[in-house]
Amino acid sequence: MSADQHALLLDRGNLKRRNRFNKAVEVVSTVAAVLAVAVLVIVVGSVFLKGVGALSLHFLTTPTALFGESGGGISNAIVGSAIIVAIASVIAIPIGILIAIYTTEFAPPSIAHPVRFVLDILNGVPTIITGIFVFGLLVEGNHQSGFAASVALAIVMLPIVARTAQEVLTLVPSTLKEAANALGIAPWRSTVRITIPTAAGGLITGSLLAVARVAGETAPIILLSSIVSQGVLTDPGEPLASIPYFIFQSSESPSATAHTEAWAAALVLIAFVLVLNVVARAFYARSRKRMGA
Amino acid sequence: MEAGTLSNPALRARRNLTDRIGDPLLRGLSGLAAALAVVVIVGIIYEVIHLAWPAIQEFGLGFVTTNDWNPVAKRFGAAPFLYGTVVTSFIALLFAAPLSIAISLYLTELAPRRIMRPVATLVDMLAAIPTVILGLWGILVLGPFMRDTIEPALHSVLGFLPIFDGDPSAFGYLTAALILTIMVTPIITSVTREVFETVPGDLKEASYALGATRWEMVRQVVLPYSRPGIVGATILGLGRAIGEAIAVAQVIGGANLINASLFHTGGTLAAQIASQFQNSAGLQKASLAYLGLILLVFAVVVNVVARVIVQRGQIGDADAEDLDIAAPATRAQPV
């Protein structure tokens, strides 16, 4: 067929269609990105608009009212959350960083790799399961406590801290470590005095992200620290109030007042979490720049 | 790193005491910490089986297929919650996976640099929203919207399908699935975006040079090259979706039976545990732990599979062969 010879010249019929299809895909991709940002704006916007009205100094400094009464606040939940998350951080951050030090500085690959794998599996364990684990470990035959919630949150934090710390520690330039070795400095000393300070920004990032992640964690708290007495409590041996559980409880209530209080508490929590995320990112950017990565 | 094995006694004597203690101490402590992580995962598995044991003895494997949850008659089964978990996660991934791919394409191929960074950060921020707040939003904003707008529309157009039959309601499988979609989209996106960024520029340019449009380049180069990463990311998202307890418990409505209609209330493994565990005792508590055991097995399998796929994609780089394009080594090298 003679038309074949001219196919390249003549056959421009589908170019239009190809371009149109291309354009359509570009539009779809752009719409998808806009949609994702829009959902963020709608959710955060809802929380802000519905919560800001109920937010006041009174709300932040008054403990939750008795059941059926109004005019309460979330001071007990703020204090409880702070204690639970602080204890969890004290447990998880040092252990997480130690794990990272072990896998990056000491362990041979045949051990470091399985440890990483275990951390990934641990990261994939649903937090409600972590709650069941700590329930069987500390609460069954005993009673709920803020400390039990802390242990569960620490387990949730551990793989996040350890994995980010591993990533950052491997970014530390090996020339620094080699220089220390050449000077005859003991490995532990070069780790503590050189590797860790160089990676500090990234280590802080991982820790802050882990704190931000568990500050809103609700599932383990329902099993471990939900039967709470009145007033501002500070003894981690007893069940403590917390912001996520307050939001959960108020959201399940049919009362409109409870819903307004839930939005206000959600605004406090979301502000805390987002600020922590922004700060963490800033630390990470600075740290990477410092290590020339 | 060999300072710990100095063989010369004279040199060894000169190492001061702190170094002789410090090295084994740090090595020991950090090794202990790593061992602790292993102990925790083993402990989790042991403790969940331990708590579930009475239910495992009572119901055996038939538990998995029993479509019943009746605390009064002490009959418990996992089928309604397995069904709910599978349906909500499946719908969530059905939306989230294409959405994530599209967002990643926008970020890596279309967006100008100064837009790309902030948009990527905002999408990551979506992942940072605590799930209890998504659940609250689901109850008070999304739920009513589904009941009044989306579900009536679906019902009027596709009502002949059993899944869109029945009365619209604020709480149910579909609302839960949409909340899960919002949760897992940023998680899948962050992985697919990273994978897309690793597609070699010369492969893309080669495709353009052959006259491909941007979409054709994506279909012939970016997507095949990233396939293991996309699959792995989607499975990671699946792991998050099946394990989410709180947001789902808030919006799924808590029914104990399988229901064909997506508008109907239901339950998932994780949500059932979250809503009943603290007020249960005896066989019911053990049955909830049994649900937890099934969920744990799911989560571990899903995560192992996802890691293996993502890692094999990164190390093996078998995709270049799939593409039938010669390795970059044949490219003209600048001297």
Q: Average pLDDT of each block of 10 consecutive residues along chain A (293 residues)?
A: 52 80 92 94 94 89 75 89 96 96 90 91 95 93 92 96 92 88 88 90 91 94 88 88 94 88 95 93 80 65
- Mind spelling out the 3-state secondary structure of A184-249? CCCHHHHHHHHHHHHHHHHHHHHHHHHHHHHHCCCHHHHHHCCCCCCCCCCCCCCCCCCHHHHHHH
Query: Are A64 and A83 within one domain?
Result: yes
Query: How far is it, in rounded angstroms, from Cα B224 to Cα A229?
Result: 57
Query: Are A83 and A181 within one domain?
Result: yes
Q: Is residue B33 part of a domain?
A: no
Question: A residues 156-215 near B, CB within 8 Å?
Answer: 158-159, 162, 181, 184-189, 191-192, 212-213, 215
Question: What's the pLDDT score for residue B223?
Answer: 94
Q: How confident is the model at residue B12 (pLDDT cuts 50, 70, 90)?
A: low
Q: Tell which of B6, B20, B30, B280 to mutate to test the A interface (max A CBs under 10 Å).
A: B30
Q: Is residue B166 part of a domain?
A: yes
What percentage of chain B carries pLDDT values higher than 70? 89
Least confident of A8-17, A68-77, B113-122, B162-171: A8-17
Q: Is residue B208 part of a domain?
A: yes
Question: What's the pLDDT score for residue A89?
Answer: 97
**The CATH number of the domain where A165 resides is what?**
1.10.3720.10
Q: Is residue B111 within 8 angstroms of chain A, CB to CB?
A: yes
Cβ–Cβ under 8 Å, residues B92 and B305: no
Helix, strand or coil, per DSSP, at residue B257: coil
Question: What's the pLDDT score for residue A244?
Answer: 95
> CB atoms < 10 A from the CB of A3, how many?
8
The domain in which residue B246 lies consists of: 79-320
User: Nearest to residue B199, comparing CAs of B41, B83, B305, B322?
Assistant: B322
Q: Is residue B129 within 8 angstroms of chain A, CB to CB?
A: yes
Cβ–Cβ under 8 Å, residues A67 and A287: no
Query: Are A22 and A81 within one domain?
Result: no
Q: Is the pLDDT assigned to residue B253 strictly greater than 80?
A: yes
pLDDT in tens, B257-303: 888 888 888 899 999 999 999 888 889 999 999 999 999 999 999 99
Q: Is residue B3 within 8 angstroms of chain A, CB to CB?
A: yes
Question: What's the pLDDT score for residue B126?
Answer: 93
Q: Is residue B99 part of a domain?
A: yes
Interchain contact, B243 vs A127, CB within 8 Å: yes
Q: Is residue A44 within 8 angstroms of chain B, CB to CB?
A: yes
Q: How far is A136 from chain B (nearest CA, A)?
A: 6
Question: B residues 17-46 near A, CB within 8 Å?
Answer: 19, 22-23, 25-27, 29-34, 36-38, 40-41, 43-44
Q: Is residue B305 part of a domain?
A: yes
Q: Is residue B99 within 8 angstroms of chain A, CB to CB?
A: yes
Question: What amino acid occupies position A292?
Answer: G
Query: How far is it, in rounded angstroms, from Cα B107 to Cα B207?
Result: 20
Question: What's the pLDDT score for residue B180?
Answer: 96
Residue of B nearest to A247 (CA): B132
* CB-nearest partner of B132 from A33, A132, A216: A216
Q: How confident is the model at residue B23 (pLDDT cuts 50, 70, 90)?
A: confident
The domain in which residue A193 lies consists of: 57-290
Question: What's the pLDDT score for residue B165?
Answer: 79
Q: Is residue B71 part of a domain?
A: no
Question: In the beta sheet, which residues pair with residue B266?
Answer: B253
Question: What's the pLDDT score for residue B333?
Answer: 36
Q: Is residue B137 part of a domain?
A: yes
Q: Tell which of A19, A133, A252 to mutate to test the B interface (max B CBs under 10 Å).
A: A133
The burial class, CB within 10 Å (0-12 / 13-18 / 19+), for A288 is middle
Query: Are A92 and A118 within one domain?
Result: yes
Query: Are A36 and A126 within one domain?
Result: no
Please report where in the chains the tokens 């959350």 appear, as a residue.
A81
Query: What is the widest separation between alpha-carbon atoms in chain A?
Result: 92
Interchain contact, B105 vs A29, CB within 8 Å: yes
Question: What's the pLDDT score for residue A23?
Answer: 92
Question: A residues 90-109 near B, CB within 8 Å?
Answer: 95-96, 98-99, 101-103, 105-107
Tell me chain B's radius of gyration from C-alpha atoms. Answer: 26
Query: Are A205 and A253 within one domain?
Result: yes
Question: What's the pLDDT score for residue B325?
Answer: 35
Domain count, chain B: 1
Interchain contact, A121 vs B304, CB within 8 Å: yes
Name the token pair of A267.
């605004």
- Specify the DSSP element, H or E, that contains B112: none
Question: A residues 108-167 near B, CB within 8 Å?
Answer: 111, 115, 117-133, 135-137, 140, 155, 158-159, 162
Q: What is the DSSP string of chain A?
A: -GGGGGHHHH--HHHHHHHHHHHHHHHHHHHHHHHHHHHHHHHHHHHHHHHHTT--HHHHHSPPPPTT-----SHHHHHHHHHHHHHHHHHHHHHHHHHHHIIIIIS-HHHHHHHHHHHHHHHHS-HHHHHHHHIIIIITTS---HHHHHHHHHHHHHHHHHHHHHHHHHHS-HHHHHHHHHTT--HHHHIIIIIHHHHHHHHHHHHHHHHHHHHT--HHHHHHS-S--SS----TTS----HHHHHHHHHHS--HHHHHHHHHHHHHHHHHHHHHHHHHHHHHHHHHHHTT-
Domain count, chain A: 2
Question: What's the pLDDT score for residue A293?
Answer: 56
**The CATH number of the domain where B185 resides is what?**
1.10.3720.10
Query: What is the widest separation between alpha-carbon atoms in chain B?
Result: 90
Q: Is residue B258 part of a domain?
A: yes
Query: Are A184 and A45 within one domain?
Result: no
Question: What's the pLDDT score for residue B259?
Answer: 82
* CB-nearest partner of A136 from B47, B243, B295: B47
